[in-house]
Amino acid sequence: MKKNNTLYFFTSTILEWKHLLKDNNYKVIITDTLKFLCTAEKIKVCAFVIMPNHIHLVWKILPDNNYSDIQRDFLKFTAKEIISRLKKDSPEYLKHFFVGARDRNYQIWERSPLSIEILSKEVAEQKINYIHKNPLTEKWKLADEPQHYKFSSAKFYYEGIDEFGFLENYMLV
């Protein structure tokens, strides 16, 4: 059972590691959903990055909310919105996400995302640094400096600018 009011490192991957999230429209669905959950006082987001085929978050589920419910609802809602957008903008690409399961026709996220409780300031900093450097790795080369990658919290930590309107410093949550 996950505890509320604790920081977690969360990772979820697009089905079969497809690079669906190269398109900024799908990234915006994720950031808008995070902002909604923050405004509704369900979560606090301390760090994030949206990569072409996965996301990483450092977040806290606030009291009176169930971690499993928030995680499920976040993934379910973003998947539903992405599927809706794919139906409209790219029905041919949507076929790559057809699973024909009993409970769904399409699946966006892999099952069993990773969620690890962060137990110390040092681990929080290690995870946040990992998140911010992810776009710079040899595999991705999405930016030359962490703060230059738009869909990340790096600019918030490096320059004090929260372009998304929902970020909180991990030291203050």
**Would you give per-residue pLDDT tens digits along the chain (173 residues)?**
677 679 999 999 999 999 999 999 999 999 999 999 999 999 999 999 999 999 999 999 999 999 999 999 999 999 999 999 999 999 999 999 999 999 999 999 999 999 999 999 999 999 999 999 999 999 999 999 999 999 999 999 999 999 999 999 999 99
Instruction: Give the closest residue to 26 by CA, choosing from 112, 127, 109.
Output: 109
Reduced to 3 states (helix: H, G, I; strand: E, B; else coil), residue 164 is: coil
Instruction: Give the closest residue to 153 by CA, choosing from 128, 123, 172.
Output: 128
Q: Is 101 exposed, middle or buried (0-12, 13-18, 19+ CB in 10 A)?
A: exposed
Residue 62, phi then psi, degrees to nearest 5 = -80, 160
Measured CA to CA in angstroms, residue 144 lies from 14, 129, 131, 140, 141 at distances of: 24, 15, 14, 11, 7
Helical (H) or strand (E) element with 24 = helix 24-39
CA 152 from centre of chain: 10
Q: E-assigned strands of 51-95?
A: 54-61
pTM of the complete model = 0.96
